[in-house]
Amino acid sequence: VFDVLGVRPQDVVGRDATELLHSEEVTKVPAAGTARAVERLLRVTRRDGGVRWLRVRTSVVVDPVQGPRAVST
């Protein structure tokens, strides 16, 4: 996490993943409740202001208590 984003793992755990995206990429993220697997090439903004491109594959996993959850791998 530090090499790519410039942040420690404990600084991103529990945060909304869209907070890490470049501002122009946020609109490319599927809406909540979209139940399909997608693969996208997205920019993230590093803590130092630099930009990195990441290939993100997102699939939906259903938690028996919390319902549908999006998980990026």
| pLDDT greater than 70 at residue 17 | yes
User: Which class for 20: exposed (0-12), middle (13-18), buried (19 or more C-beta within 10 A)?
Assistant: buried
Find the Cα–Cα–Cα–Cα dihedral 13, 3, 69, 18, rounded to 10°: 90
Alpha helix segments (H runs only) across the chain: 2-5, 9-12
- The pTM assigned to this predicted structure is 0.53
If pLDDT is split at 50, 70 and 90, which confidence band does 24 have? confident
